[in-house]
Amino acid sequence: MPTSKDVARLAGVSQSTVSYVMSGRRPISEKTRKRVEDAMAQLAFQPNAGARALASRRSQVIGLAIPFVPDLHRGSMMGFISVIAASARQSDYDILLVTDDEGPQGLERVVGQQLVDGLIIMQVEGDDARVPVIRNLPVPSVLIGIPEKHEGLKCIDADFELAGQMCVEELAKLGHETVTLVNWQDAVVRRRVNYVKRFHHGVDKAGAATGAKIIHVPGRATIAGMEKAVANALEQTKGVPAFIAPEAANQDLLVEALNNLGLVLGKDVSVVVNCSDSLAERQRIPLTTIDFEPDQVSRRVVQMIVHDLTEPTSRSHEALELIRPVFKHRKSTIRPRPQR
Amino acid sequence: MPTSKDVARLAGVSQSTVSYVMSGRRPISEKTRKRVEDAMAQLAFQPNAGARALASRRSQVIGLAIPFVPDLHRGSMMGFISVIAASARQSDYDILLVTDDEGPQGLERVVGQQLVDGLIIMQVEGDDARVPVIRNLPVPSVLIGIPEKHEGLKCIDADFELAGQMCVEELAKLGHETVTLVNWQDAVVRRRVNYVKRFHHGVDKAGAATGAKIIHVPGRATIAGMEKAVANALEQTKGVPAFIAPEAANQDLLVEALNNLGLVLGKDVSVVVNCSDSLAERQRIPLTTIDFEPDQVSRRVVQMIVHDLTEPTSRSHEALELIRPVFKHRKSTIRPRPQR
DNA sequence: TTGAAAGCGATACCAG
DNA sequence: CTGGTATCGCTTTCAA
């Protein structure tokens, strides 16, 4: 493999000139630049990453901490990862994976070995063991998800509060007087992921603002449980029922339960789902869907970390960015006829 | 950050001794080893990856070429990735992502920059642009998936031929005389992924061996199309119908189509699916599932590449490893009563 | 069993 | 605008 020395020799310049041609950190005459570039092309030169990292003290690699994910979220996770990797390349960074089962020490390792210049932490939960660790790490990082204590951290997430709000407003505007929120399943709630709370908050807030009555029913993992929950909600419902099912795992069940109770979606009942893995498309069911452009989060997170990595000034100041959700398939919700 | 020099000083030994303690490449007296290890712990020393790579000419990083995946396969893809990353760590390797949208040159780049010691290529298709590239790369690589021309390459994949065979044998053994294979959808077939062909081959072979009649119907993307295909198959069916639906995208549709035609799964008709993203669990539908342990492939692929990377002798000889599928939920297929 | 010292292949400072 | 050279932190001969 040719080295920059070889390039220098062939181009008849010094090694440092070759380096400066690559980095552009000092003016080079058009003539020598051309000679160097030709030599590089001729030798198919590629700079040695290790040597570069050693000398420059930057690896041009970003560590990506991926969570251990239960089946359901895997699809979306994958989307994040590939978009993050692709966007990172656009800024001349590579992505190194840090798996969860190495524990938070994994983060200390890749930073300690100076393998990475910064970190992106995915799926941050309310009380995440990785958070205290990254606080003490000498590299910038950006979190996807918002931990309980996030002072001084850069976080980005979908705006779940707004999502909850929008769901209720949508239904209230159509004329629904009662809206049932099917909660996340217990396993998720117990993980204390912050977004559950935030979604609830948005729902309740919009309920108060619009006057819609909000019924909360727990997320159930079985169809029987779901049917009971739904029946229960229907009893307390005034007018045409409406449901909000933010968790993907519940959506199939809710749809099935409503079917079993003889309610036709988009006709007898409105359903709004969130974060749907394209349930609407997949099953061709009339649902209103509220969702986030996942790529938007991914690209933004890379922007943020790259900014911290390249901006020489201003060490990582706190930041909290929320991505706005959007409606899709919106026509399938119904406008109840006035009930009296 | 402390360097090995600092460790050496603190331990009162030379820098080379520190290095040898870490690598174990030469005997060290118990006494000095202890002194060095203590010093390392005391300083929380971590070796600088760039320097190490530069000096040793090995980065301890494996490049993982991830494909651009359509939604459906994303979940399983994610499983591969995290298991690969975790297993790699067990052998002291890290994983660097190489996205597809950098093209095959992405592979040349990471190898050329000596960022990686070897490559794992995911989702290799029948005629894959990356294959000719890696052939000329000076590092070992392992492919997941089997390209048309694979002489001299190390490949690993699920044994789709055997899977096809097992599906038919299962149904034939139960007494089905006619078996309908619902093919992959056109988009997949056109990509010339090898496994489609291999699955077919297994199905036909087992059909011939068992005497079961095999009907092929094309994979359809719409429910109407699927219903027609199913109806068509039923006309040609003798005895109790049985279906094999290897592609996940078709499975929902097939189940729905059968429902619409009034056929009850596990009672009027047997269905065997393959590569199911746990459709059976998700929908609680009585299906027999044949599947692969995805983790098995992932772990094996890491073993293979690590072997090539550490075995000083024997440069990458060709290899083709097929992972055996297994049945799940098997009881839901039916044993047809003798028809005359 | 250990130490000294010469690289590995870039970067970046100091001169000119 | 360009060249010489010290340096980054570790590995690995060569000598003892």
Alpha-carbon distance of B101 to B64, in angstroms, equals 13
CB atoms within 10 A of CB A232: 13
In tens, the pLDDT along A233-243 reads: 889 888 888 88
pLDDT value at A280 more than 80 = no
Rounded to the nearest 5 degrees, what angle is found at the Cα of B243, between the Cα atoms of B269 and B264? 25
Say yes or no to pLDDT of B219 above 50.
yes
Cα separation, B182 vs B293, in Å, equals 23
Alpha-carbon distance of A294 to A74, in angstroms, equals 13
pLDDT at B280 over 80: no
Residue nearest to nucleotide C8 (CA to C1'): B55
Report whether B156 contacts B135 (CB < 8 A): no
Cβ of residue A15 lies below 7 Å from strand C:
yes
Residue B17 shares a structural domain with residue B104:
no
Q: Which nucleotide is nearest to A31 (CA to C1')?
A: D1
Please say if the pLDDT value at position A35 is more than 90. Answer: yes
B214 lies in some domain: yes
Q: pLDDT tens digits for B63-112?
A: 999 998 776 677 778 989 999 999 999 999 999 999 999 999 999 999 99
| Domain harbouring B46, CATH code | 1.10.260.40
Residue-range definition of the domain harbouring residue B267: 160-292
> Measured between beta carbons, which residues in chain B are less than 8 angstroms from residue A113?
46-49
Label residue A282 by pLDDT band (50, 70, 90).
low
pLDDT at A256: 81
Q: Which residue has the higher pLDDT, A225 or A93?
A: A93
Q: How far is the CA of A48 from the C1' of D3 (A)?
A: 22
- Which CATH number characterizes residue B253's domain? 3.40.50.2300
pLDDT at B192: 64
Same domain assignment for residues A305 and A215: no
Predicted pLDDT of residue B340: 36
| Residue B330 within a domain | no
Range picked from A72-86, B69-83, B270-284 for highest mean pLDDT: A72-86
- Mean pLDDT for chain A overall: 88
- Same domain as B114, residue B72: yes
Query: Are A44 and A188 in the same domain?
Result: no
Indicate the pTM of the whole model: 0.91
- Asked if B28 and B113 sit in the same domain, the reply is no
Per mean pLDDT, which range of A43-57, A282-296, B211-225 is the poorest? A282-296
Whether A241 and A287 map to the same domain: the answer is yes
Same domain, B168 and B272: yes
Are residues B229 and B304 part of one domain?
no
pLDDT of B124 reads: 92
pLDDT bucket at B314, cuts 50 / 70 / 90: low
For tokens 């047809």, the residue is B336
| pLDDT of the residue at B339 | 46
pLDDT of res. A110: 98
pLDDT digits (tens, 9 = 90+) for A7-30: 999 999 999 999 999 999 999 999
Residue B274: inside a domain, yes or no?
yes
What does DSSP say about strands B326-328 and A141-144: parallel, antiparallel, or unpaired? unpaired
Contacts with B123 from chain A: Cβ below 8 Å: none
pLDDT category of residue A340 using cuts at 50, 70 and 90: very low
CB atoms within 10 A of CB B202: 21
Residue B233 above 60 pLDDT?
yes
Task: Return mean pLDDT, chain B.
Answer: 88
B170 in the same domain as B254: yes
Q: Is residue B286 part of a domain?
A: yes
**CA dihedral (B221, B224, B228, B234) positive or negative:** positive
Q: Which residues of B touch A95 (CB under 8 A)?
A: 96-97
Query: For residue A333, is it within any domain?
Result: no
List the nucleotides on chain D closer than 7 A to a protein CB: 1-5, 7-13
Q: Which of A74-83, A235-244, A266-275 has the lowest mean pLDDT?
A: A266-275
Looking at the fold, whether B91 and B139 belong to one and the same domain comes out as yes
Would you state the pLDDT for residue A312?
63
Domains: count for chain B: 3
Q: Tell me how far apart the alpha carbons of residues B334 and B174 are, in angstroms, rounded to a whole number.
A: 7
pLDDT at B316: 60
Tell me, what DSSP letter sits at residue A70? -
Do residues B183 and B258 both lie within one domain?
yes
Question: In angstroms, how far is C13 C1' from A44 CA?
Answer: 29
Cβ distance of A283 and B114 shorter than 8 Å: no
The residue with greater pLDDT, A193 or A98, is A98
The answer to whether the Cβ–Cβ distance between B115 and A277 falls below 8 Å is no
B221 contacts B185 by C-beta, under 8 angstroms:
yes
Which of A95, A162, A44, A303 minimizes the C-alpha distance to B108?
A44
The H-assigned helical ranges of chain A are 4-11, 15-23, 30-43, 49-56, 71-90, 104-112, 130-135, 160-174, 186-190, 194-210, 223-236, 248-260, 279-283, 294-310
Which range has the worst mean pLDDT, A87-91, A121-125, A173-177?
Answer: A173-177
Question: How confident is the model over B135-153, as a mean pLDDT?
Answer: 94
Residue percentage of chain A with pLDDT more than 90: 57
The predicted pLDDT at position A192 comes to: 63
Put simply, the answer to whether B89 touches A66 (Cβ < 8 Å) is: no
What's residue A301's pLDDT? Answer: 97
Residues 12-41 of chain B with CB under 7 A from strand C are 12-17, 20, 26-29, 31-33
In a domain, B112, yes or no: yes
- The pLDDT, as a whole number, for residue B163 is 92
Residue A153: pLDDT above 90?
A: yes
Higher confidence at residue A157 or residue A256? A157
Distance between CA B246 and CA B168 in Å, rounded? 12
Whether A339 shows a pLDDT value over 60: the answer reads no
Of A65-74, A268-277, B320-329, the range with the highest mean pLDDT is B320-329
Final residue in a domain of this structure, among B268, B292, B316: B292
pLDDT of residue A277 exceeding 80, the answer is no
Percent of chain B with pLDDT over 70: 91
Per-residue DSSP letter, A151: T
Does residue A312 form part of some domain?
yes
Answer whether residue A338 is part of any domain: no
Say yes or no: B119 and B220 in one domain.
Answer: no
The answer to whether the Cβ–Cβ distance between A46 and B109 falls below 8 Å is: yes
